[in-house]
């Protein structure tokens, strides 16, 4: 049982952002080692000697610097993007939508299904091909929220609408509606 769920609340679906967010990191993960290998080969085959007249003592420290910079680039870009993707989680429960982000610094956004007044989806051409999209939630005077890059956005939207329809009537009624209902009976 998840400790953050309220009693009687059930998880309907959990998802991460569309995996295309990792495409740049995947390309960098391939290109950075290739560039480091090319630079090391260039250094070992006398590339530095052709540029300067005295290549001697600088070749080995420069090779070490290239390797260290390559490792730093791998850690700073692809690994960071991967950790950001892994630590972003969209959860639809029987009562709310929970968006959790962050690895060291956590951020959590809870959106009660009963507060949603309008639900919209938006897809770019690439998102349509990949069947992902963005969901916008209008919550009246409470504002609006956007959830980007949800895989299978149409299915997620349908699940949200089904969960809203399954809410008890009292959860959808506002405080003034409860008062009117109590007066009518």
On the question of pLDDT at 161 being above 50, the answer is: yes
% pLDDT > 90, the chain: 35
- Residue 79 CA neighbour count, 13 Å, CB half: 8
On the question of pLDDT at 10 being above 80, the answer is: yes
Task: Output the pLDDT for position 81.
Answer: 86
78 band by pLDDT with thresholds 50, 70 and 90:
confident
Cα dihedral sign for 146, 148, 152, 154? positive
On the question of pLDDT at 173 being above 80, the answer is: no
On the question of pLDDT at 111 being above 80, the answer is: yes
pTM: 0.70
133 band by pLDDT with thresholds 50, 70 and 90:
very high
Q: What is the per-residue pLDDT across 14-47, written as a single tens digit (0 to 9) for each?
A: 999 988 888 888 898 899 999 999 988 888 777 6
Task: Output the pLDDT for position 5.
Answer: 81
- Whether residue 147 contacts residue 17, with contact meaning beta carbons closer than 8 Å, is answered with no
The closest alpha carbon to 30, from 65, 70, 87, belongs to 70
184 band by pLDDT with thresholds 50, 70 and 90:
very low
Task: Output the pLDDT for position 20.
Answer: 84
CATH of 11-17+90-184, one of 2.60.40, 1.10.10, 3.10.150, 2.30.29: 2.30.29
Describe the strand order of the beta sheet including 118-122 as a list of residue ranges. 118-122, 132-138, 144-151
Higher-pLDDT residue of 155, 103: 155
């Amino acid at each position: 049982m998840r400790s953050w769920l309220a009693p009687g609340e059930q998880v309907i679906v959990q998802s991460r952002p569309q995996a295309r967010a990792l495409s740049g990191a995947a390309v960098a993960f391939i290109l950075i080692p290739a560039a480091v290998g090319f630079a090391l080969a260039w250094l070992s085959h006398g590339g530095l000697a052709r540029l300067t007249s005295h290549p001697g003592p600088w070749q080995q420290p420069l090779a070490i610097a290239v390797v260290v910079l390559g490792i730093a680039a791998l850690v700073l870009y692809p690994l960071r993007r991967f950790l950001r993707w892994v630590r972003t989680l969209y959860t639809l429960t029987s009562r709310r939508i929970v968006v959790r982000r962050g690895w060291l610094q956590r951020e959590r956004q809870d959106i009660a299904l009963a507060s949603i007044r309008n639900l919209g989806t938006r897809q770019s051409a690439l998102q349509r091909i990949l069947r992902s999209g963005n969901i916008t939630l209008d919550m009246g005077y409470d504002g609006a929220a956007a959830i980007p890059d949800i895989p299978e956005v149409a299915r997620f939207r349908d699940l949200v609408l089904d969960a809203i329809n399954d809410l008890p009537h009292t959860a959808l009624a506002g405080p003034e509606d409860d008062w009117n209902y109590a007066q009518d009976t």
